[in-house]
Structure 1
Amino acid sequence: MNRCARSVGSLLALLALAVLLVGLPWALVHFVGWPLPDHVPTWEEVEATLLDPMSNEFVINVLVVVCWIAWFRFALGVLQSVFDLVQDITWSPDRVHGPIRSAAATLVAAVLLTLVTNRALAAGSVAVTDVPTSQPQAVVATVRVMPGSVLPSDRSVVDRAASAPHGHVRVVEEVRLPHNGIYDSMWRIAERVYGPGGGARWPELFELNRGVEQADGRSLVDPDHVRPGWKIAAYIPETQAESPQQVPPPAGVVPPTETPVPAEIVPESDGGWVEPGIDLMTGVYISTGAAGVISGVLVASQMRRRRRYRIGSGERSDLERPRAPVVVALREAHRVEPNGKREERELVDLEPRAESPRVPAPLGVRRGREFVLNLASVHGLGLIGAGAAAAVRALLLHLLTTQSSAGNLRVLVPAEDLRSVFGRNDVQDMPNAVEVVASLDTALDQMETAILTRARRVLDEQETNAAVVLIASPAAHAHRRVQAVLDNGSVLGLAGILLGQWSAGATVAVQANGTVSASSQALRDKLAGIRLFTLPAPDASDLIAVLREAESDQAVPETAGVEGEHELSTSVTVTQRSRLTIKVFGRFRLSFDTVGAEARELSELLTPKQREVLVYLALHPEGVRREALNEAVWPDSRPPRPYNSFHNTLSVLRRVLSDATNGSMANVVVNALGRYQLSHEFVTVDLWQFRQTLERARAADTDRKIQLQGAVDLYEGDLAEDLSTPWIEPFREAARRDALDAYGALIHLHGKASPETVLELLERARMLDQYNEGIYRDIMRTQAQLGQYTAVPRTLALLTSVLREIDELPSPDSGDLAELLQRRGNAPVLAS
């Protein structure tokens, strides 16, 4: 029997040896391949590899190289042992044969120990994966326990007398003795306290009990070391406290000293504590504040539509647009709390400096409080893991709802990264605060410019600029540049959210449910027990669309009145208060209109640059970014003070208009959500009226003749014809073509029924575009229809004269038409 056992043992050892000698190298070659570079790396490649964050491929290759070295040493040790056996040398345990023999002996001992241990395990055991370390995803220990070894939670104590957050009670759980070789852990305690699946909340449990003195005089300082008999306190919803698992303590057991609730989460006497997060159980988890902003935006948009509704118009298109399910669900979930209710917030700033602007970003919820992180102080927040993209989407939404509403946010996102985060291609229509750029390099160019500009403004003690946040993947070629921008810009309101590992700042590993599984040293103590806000891609698109729609809706000028009296109602609205009227068709004109007084002309008070700024803003009723306006009006402005002329011109313009209107028009140019625009409350522009009239003419339920006639009447000449600057030419031509299209549609509506009106409209269209040959041919046809055959040759002569100015001649079609019409009227043909 002993001989048989020894034979089996020898065969197992031989098999293990063969696996190590042959199986290991085969597996390395088959599954990994050659781990070293296929060419001699250049110094730049070596530098990039050493300085950039380690990729998964790099780590695997390093491990494979180490495995090959270990295997080679082990093989040499085996060969040396075989050589000794052949020479009949006794291998004594006390004999030392150097490091090679030690390595081989160690590996063989490890294999044999594993085999022996596995033989001792019961065949019917089950596997349990436990995560007892401070980084649950990094270290996973697999153990086997006998069925039924998990004891029921019969030692939990519910203490209703202790203070606790609103709607919660305090529970005390005892650390248990080892059972079947399995020690208790924070993970198991969390599962007993919070129920099945609650083990992932062990960081929250650890934070609540960190440093609390236990009965033996020691305290919990390491989540990996909990001692039997220690009391671990937690807070659970009061409804869960009725569970039969929480029973009174056994006789003779004295609960430990109360662990006081941290002062920041103790509810006020009026019950003012509010749950800071809304969980829709669909992957949507956002702050109560963000949900409140969404609800407020919807209510405000609804009020604007009610104000603009024209009684009798029958307009119902805005009511036919259904709201996305996530929007409806958030409105239902959000409740406006009565006075005194408030949300608990915790602001974390890694570099608290009074003079440094903060970029607060609601990140998640911890211990019943909203966790807000100053992004600028982190020098770049990297997000990795299954929930990274969802966390980035939630971060973007919270930045837009908390920062952009005050006009102090600008987000730069490369187009490729935006598509990656949202998982779709049609994400370009973002709110005004989000600027989609071509690439990471383009975004860095703008951020470097912002650093130079803001540094100068700090020296000049000027006002603080809006926060600039970069959302991008940290490309290897731009690693140093990104680091320099975030380091230098941290004190100037610049921050970064990186889609990947970011060793230069901080990196957070996020699970799919928003739980933080690991984080770098800078945030390790700060993020323990936090659940990040998350948003699925479709829901994020729907919520951001609400914000974008509200911006567009807000930019539409308000109108009101009864259908059929719309023009009258609009004029009454204009004359009921003081307004500035800007006319950009023809020569630029600016007038101040007040009730009961004659309009005063203010154009002569303005400098050419001030007029140019007003024209540019009139062409962009929804607003324009400072960079675009500055580049158009002052194309030669360069660092270090590229916006000096812009701010000086704007300041003087506001002062001039305020003085000329006795202070009533001080806010003509406003900064809304980071975009400069003319105030729709105080300013009327003929170009806006022209565009609105054309829009009404396109509607099927309007009198198109009246609307089109109103549009062509507003067009008094080329757009700002006294302004000679290159940037206006595309706008000028577009407006001219809009007017020509309106004339064409109006002529078509009149048709043959009113040739006199058609001829008048054609003459006006000819004055608008005197080189358009088609207009002259239509004039000749209409003249013939009216019997004015003698006027046909004069029209042809006029066309010939005009075209000679540009060295052209009329086409044969025009000559043939004139000849045909003359013959029809028996009139002589006028030679060209």
Structure 2
Amino acid sequence: MRWPRQLMSLLFVLTLLAGPPMVLLSLVGAPLQGWPTAAQAREWVQDPLTEQTLTAALTIAVWLVWLLLASTVTIRVLIRLSATVSWLRRMPLPTPWQATAGGIAGAAVFGVSSHAITAPPPPPTEPTAAGTLDEAGSLTPLDGDVLADAGISVAGGWLPRDVAEQVSAAAALVWLRRRRSYRPRPPGPPSREDTDLAPLPPTVAAVQAALADSPPPPTEPGASSTSSSPLAQPIVGSAFPIAGVGLTGLGAQDAARGLLVTRLLAGRQHPAVSVVITRTVLAGLLGPTAETLARRLPGLALIDNLGQAARFFSGNHPGRGLGERDPAQRNTQEGAGLPRPTLIVDEASATDNAETLASLAITSAAVAVLGRWPAGQTWQVDPSGGAHHLDGSGSPGPRMCVLAQVTATDLLTVIAHPDPAPPEPGTSGPSRHPALAGRSPQAVVIAQDHPVRSGDDKRRLRLRVLGEPTLLLDGHPVEIRRTAALQVLVFLAAHPDGADTRQLTDAIWPGLPRRSLTGRLYTTLSDLRATIRSTAGVALIEHSDDRYRLDPTGVTVDLWHFHDAVRDATTAVATDAAIWKAVIDAYPGDFAARRTWPWLDPIREATRRHVIDAHAALACASPDARQALAWLQAGVRIDPYNADLHSQAVSALITLGDHDAADHLREDYTRRLAAAGILPTDMAFTTAALTGQPAIRTR
């Protein structure tokens, strides 16, 4: 029990506070008997080291030490009292319904049985992995109200939850597009250097991790799923004025960036323009990269002045790379119920062209002015996104999405079209795999040292990361209690050379300050080591020079065996179908299947590409057309989004004379991409891949 210890501590502190003064007053008396006279002062100067002066100096020193102790205790007590008062102020009082329910529950507990029921302790909670869910989003109201401002906080901003979900969906679409556009090549070493395997920006990873660790807030049955944020649907949501708003205050620039990102995210499923913005405003929001990034952003139109904006909305302005927006297109957009485009201008443009802007606000666009807007509402936005009406009432408005410059640029990256990359060496032309003619000298890579496999492996621990991640001891799963601990195992399996503290914390808890994560990592590793030691009696994780790695003598990893098969296929000079089949056989499933950890995608896609390369090489090397088709169809099952495999399969079906099956495969593939979110205007690449024609990108 803790209270005896606390009582003894209190008695000890009281003794220290009261004891010294009582002893000093009883033995020596008061510390000062009055101010010294002039004669006493002259005597002290002539002979300072007397018994009386030394006693007085010692007494004063003891009193000073006691005063220091007393002041320290007083300050600590005041701090504790202040914290208690703050906690009491924040503690919500029960509503009448809650008080009634509590009374009924108490009566049931004391009336039904006198036996105490001990509830099991809750399982340990995992630390938040990335950007955090706001306090409002983690509380469940008992009166059925829908939480209005639940969102995700990341370094450099705050996003409404539905906007964060759109960011996560856009990030997933980036990887689907990369899978679609990959063209198989001769199998190479396990460590790939494909330019399109670069991970997404850290802010995107932080948003993804926060959503994975934070379940959506509960909603009232029958409530609309439309976001309460005024920026998610500027024209539909009642919080955001239909005509628009002026933004002032310390958070105005961040709110404008949030508006830009939110509207482009909301409009990415539609070919119409979502945001029209002046070049000067965009440069102020995004910095030096604004012009370059704008050319790659679908749904964004740049203008120089409001005169161009008027011509754009009347159908006479082309918009940057997005085609003319004629009245028929505008009518189609409005008839489909889509929100009007958002026009973002600065205060000077709004003042100099007040009539034009007012007309556009009524007929064509939702206007956001960086500054006061005399013709409409003006909100003052603080750095956290809180908005207040500047109409004299000072009434609070909705919380707005606010993003710093780097954060906004990171999020816009997942919307932007990728930079056109040069084709990989050896991937141009119809016969991209030299398997039929033997390996070219450039394709042969010097073998690297790796553990030799043996058929009599005595290691009892086996880590399976291809498919569902599982640690097996003698074939039986070992329970890993912490999700972060399982991440550590999978991450170290993907990095046989080990990883340091920075790499582990950045991967598992992206977006959080690294200095606050070291303790979490040590706790996770300690729990993981204790679990494995108590189960298998071995120390699986080695630690030296601040690097953690899996002990290869204590565990066998299926991913390592897969890499061995890839190395064998890479270093083999003769073309033997068995080496490609070994790669395929060593791949039972996707890397960490069904897991959504942000760091997985580059490794998962690199691993999948090795298998695709093997299927394509077997198809090219097969002398039988039907066997080649079978290998291509097997590759399509591995990656049903890859356009090149579908193109080769369609060609094989046409060669065999099965035109109906070829048409059916084309249609199924097109529907699959459309269901995944690939827009019809983004299908140019897919159509070109399936027909063998050069792609002409329209967006």
Structure number with the bigger relative contact order (C-alpha 8 A, sep ≥ 6) is: 2
- Superposition TM-score, scaled by structure 2 size: 0.32
